[in-house]
Structure 1
Amino acid sequence: MRPAGETGAAPTPARRDRTVVISSVASDAHTWNLVFLQLLIEELGYTVVNLGPCVPDDVLIDACRTIAPDLVVISSVNGHGWQDGLRLIKAFRAQESLADTPVVIGGKLGTTGLESAARTAELAEAGFDAVFRDGAQEVESFRDFAAALAVRAAT
């Protein structure tokens, strides 16, 4: 969703049969971020399965084993994205059937609001394909990531 009056080429839409699973980290009860992400990702042409807030790691992993999504998006608003994200991605990557599934995390990743580059790098090193901090510029970076993923899959 681009702000009114913004110009620029829209990303190439994905095929409708490509699926993205979105969820919060297990400790996060916020929902507005998930609704926003669902609308944004659907705008890019993906089918979205929104698992909602407070999804336990094992429930997310079981859902992804069943759905076999093209991308998993984890969102955090409560500030525990770094801590919960590390635990989640380790369990996720331990699943052979999910080892190559692209997984990203974004939002408020720490309780101070001043997440360090080291913590962001730690999430990437643990297995996230991309890490997006809180903010409008990061939303555009995520949009570009998702659009590029669709283009790679189409070729």
Structure 2
Amino acid sequence: MELQFDARPPDITGLDVVVTSVASDAHTWNLVYLQLLLEELGHRVTNLGSCVPDQLMIDECRGRRPDLIVVSTVNGHGFVDGKRVVRLLRGCPELRTTPLVIGGKLGITGREHGGGVGELIEAGFDAVFEESAGIVGFRDFVQSLPSGVTR
């Protein structure tokens, strides 16, 4: 009996997602959690890890052309760092319309809840999810994106 294999890749559904942190954030558990959550939802994830230099983030996203970019931060500098990286990412013509979100601990004073969301949206994020309370909203956002893309 001869075995035959189809050399064509199977149709793949779901989103191609890049999960990343900002250059100042060395936390990894949040990135692993998001990766597992997104994979459980049927998406393919490239996790860039922690302390990602801005240029590396830009280069990876430009090269991969993901369906979604997720920036996660835990160190409390997400508001400042997020405003910087969103401008850089949106400055790339091929990433201008890519859904781009940020979430986690966005500030260090405890007064940030909701205060900087409008500024981050205005700067170019499609959605902002603050700390652990944002995970339900994040999941709903991801599930609202068109999937079933065949690559």
Q: In which range does the TM-score fall when normalised by the shorter chain?
A: 0.7 to 0.9
Structure with the higher helix share, 1 or 2 = 1
Could you tell me which residue of structure 1 aligns to residue 4 of structure 2?
none
Q: Secondary structure at the match of 2:107?
A: coil
1:19 to 2:16 alignment? yes
1:68 to 2:80 alignment? no
Q: Secondary structure at the match of 2:17?
A: strand
Could you tell me which residue of structure 2 aligns to residue 145 of structure 1?
141
C-alpha distance in 1 between matches for 2:146 and 2:30: 22
C-alpha distance in 1 between matches for 2:113 and 2:31: 24
Matched-pair contact (CA < 8 Å) for 1:22–1:48: yes
1:90 to 2:87 alignment? yes
Could you tell me which residue of structure 2 aligns to residue 81 of structure 1?
78
Matched-pair contact (CA < 8 Å) for 1:79–1:109: yes
Tell me: CA distance 1:46–1:101, structure 2 relative to 1, closer, same or farther (3 Å).
Answer: same
C-alpha distance in 2 between matches for 1:153 and 1:116: 35
1:105 to 102, 105, 119: 102
1:57 to 2:54 alignment? yes
Shift of 1:151: 5.2
Residue-pair matches, total: 139
Matched-pair contact (CA < 8 Å) for 1:79–1:113: no
Map 1:21-40 to 2 at 5 A: 21-40=18-37
Percentage of matched positions with identical amino acids: 55
Shift of 1:152: 9.2
Is there any run of 5+ residues in structure 1 with no aligned partner, and where? 1-13
Cα deviations by residue, 1:17-66 (Å, 9 ceiling, x for unpaired):
x2000011110000000000000010111100000000011110100111
C-alpha distance in 2 between matches for 1:152 and 1:110: 36
C-alpha distance in 2 between matches for 1:20 and 1:145: 13
Could you tell me which residue of structure 1 aligns to residue 9 of structure 2?
none
C-alpha distance in 1 between matches for 2:76 and 2:149: 32
Q: Secondary structure at the match of 2:45?
A: strand
Could you tell me which residue of structure 1 aligns to residue 45 of structure 2?
48
Matched-pair contact (CA < 8 Å) for 2:13–2:149: no
C-alpha distance in 1 between matches for 2:114 and 2:31: 25
Higher Cα Rg: structure 1 or 2? 2
For the aligned residue pairs, the C-alpha RMSD in angstroms reads 1.8
Matched-pair contact (CA < 8 Å) for 2:71–2:103: yes
Cα deviations by residue, 1:76-96 (Å, 9 ceiling, x for unpaired):
100000000000001111111
Is there any run of 5+ residues in structure 2 with no aligned partner, and where? 1-11
